[in-house]
Amino acid sequence: MTGRALTNTARKPAEPWRRRLIRSLLYGRNVDRAAKARARVGLAILLFAAIYAVLAGRLVMFAVGADSHGGRRTASQDAIATARPDIVDRNGEVLATDVKAPSLFGEPRRIIDKDEAIELLTAALPDLDTAEARTRLSSRKGFVWLKREITPKQQHDIHKLGIPGIGFLRENKRVYPTGAAVAHLIGLVNIDNAGIAGMEKWLDNNGLADLHRAGFATDRLQKPVELSIDLRVEHALRDELLKAKEKYKAKAASGLVSNVRTGEIVALVSLPDFDPNNPKEAHDPERINRLTTGVFEMGSTFKALTLAMALDSGKANLNTLYDGRGTLKFGKFTIHDTHPVGRAITLSEVFTFSSNVGAAKIALAQGVEAHKAFLKKLGQMDRLRTELPESASPIVPKRWTELNTITASFGHGIAVAPLQAVMGINACINGGLLIPPTFLKRSEEEARAIAKKVLRTETSDKMRYLMRLNAEIGTAKKADVKGYYIGGKTGTSEKVVNGRYSKKQVLNSFTAIIPADNPQYQLLVMLDEPKALPETHGFITSGWNAVPTGGKVIARIGPLLGIEPRFDLPPSDRLILAASKTTQ
């Protein structure tokens, strides 16, 4: 026994301790190594099978959905036109909407022969910039745009060419069904469907851009944006302004319709305008929005503010007399009237005769500081902010003296945005409420909640009387459309040419309220540098061109605004003043 044991021990030498340690760490103690090896082989087989399945699936995805894959890859490299909500007018008519349009892209790494690809693409797209396309396809990028927003036919022709590495993405393209009708209000977008002007830019500034970045605005389920604009009124106003611009050979024409009770802008037109479907037209500096972006000396329409100031102060009434017999000299300047009366005139006659001398004396009687404070209270001294990003600050004298008060009393020496002047006049005739203008729908209750009382109701009554009286016997007679009982004020502002006021180059304006006894809307018409015609007897002042244009607009938009004609109404002193608390 002892001998056999010694023999076996000799046959199986002792395992080194290092090997025993390694085997213990790798396999543990008392483990069937063969079974464990088979399990590992099986696991490896499953792992490789899963890897090959993923690769096969990705190849199928590349083959079936190459275009959509390219689109996903571009998210971090190139901007893709995102979805935007529809913009509609107050009656639901679509002003701006998205449609799907194909765009052409390339994957330079997959293109075999770049010269051949460019030659074939140029044949299908004659307007393709060959040099730029060659530069893009020669890059090392995985994705490049070649042509945005191509036509379906162009897509079909390129698809038939079968060029490897060339594909299409369907993008959102902004279209404007109404063309130039509301161009200055709607604005436009860039190639990536991001707003760059007008209400389109306002949308991005008010959260839409943030939604896009967060990925929550990628479909067409967004709620339409309802504007205050009435497309029917817009068309009528634009049509009449186009006719007037051509008839009087004016450099430009513009106008707007405002709801005096809510501040809503019902129509806004500035000519020349542009078609937002053709963005290149918007770059013309002559096509600016003159009603919000431009600032102008508004001329005699400012007299409405001057008289409202005097009446509201209690220092003057409708019968207060002012010396209108001659000119007003101030230093080296002489103020004169276009049609001097040659006698003392009442405050009412200052308005109906549109007397510069009378307006200057009314303002001087109030004082320089009181005049500045009143204009500031009516929003004429500060930049007007609305939904439209394009707005200009008024041009106000840095040092306001008596001379500035004199000239500003009849609308010279201070330049404001026309929409700004409309807001101030609205306050003069709507009961004394200063209501910020808006291009979005707003109820009367919402307007009253943000309105600021700036004039006494009695003052507003007298201003409505003066506006109506001016249509009965004053400079606004040519706009007195029967049945609508309008009120109005004209303005002829001489333009500054080479540092001097020119009598031959004028900016004419006419503001009308409809109806004067219970105003609902204000209309502003402006003609820039109208020319004299035989029928105007050589005159270029507002009463001969802007006023009759305003009358034609009122005749067309009155029924659209739901204003029923009323005939055989009493004159203004009986219908308006008699209903006022005071008649003085």
Q: Which residues are catalytic?
A: 300
The token pair at 225 is: 């944006």
Contact between 318 and 467 under an 8 Å Cβ cutoff? The reply is no
What string of DSSP letters covers 97-150? EEEEEEEEEE-GGG-S-HHHHHHHHHHH-TTS-HHHHHHHHTSS-S-EEEESS-
Residue 336 φ/ψ, nearest 5 degrees = -140, 165
How far, in Å, CA of 467 to CA of 469, rounded?
A: 5
Q: Is 556 exposed, middle or buried (0-12, 13-18, 19+ CB in 10 A)?
A: middle
How far, in Å, CA of 273 to CA of 229, rounded?
A: 17
Angle at 471 between CA 467 and CA 472, to 5 degrees: 115
Contact between 436 and 507 under an 8 Å Cβ cutoff? The reply is no
The token pair at 130 is: 């060959």
Q: Fill in the DSSP letter of residue 570.
A: P
Burial letters 107-144, b for 16+ CB under 10 A, else e: bbeebeebeebbebbeebbeebeeeebeebbeeeeebb
**Strand-pair partners of 415:** 395
What does each C-alpha distance from 300 to 22, 159, 282, 420, 521 come to in angstroms?
A: 105, 64, 32, 15, 20
Residue count (the chain): 584
Residue 166 CA from chain centroid, whole number: 38
Could you tell me the sign of the dihedral formed by the alpha carbons of 261, 263, 264, 267, in that order? positive
The helix or strand, by DSSP H or E, that contains position 504, with its residue range, turns out to be strand 500-514
Angle at 240 between CA 234 and CA 241, to 5 degrees: 85
How far, in Å, CA of 526 to CA of 238, rounded?
A: 12
Of 426, 320, 431, 421, residue with least CA distance to 375: 421
How far, in Å, CA of 367 to CA of 40, rounded?
A: 101
Q: Whole-angstrom distance between the N-terminal and C-terminal Cα of the chain?
A: 146
The amino acid at residue 359 is A
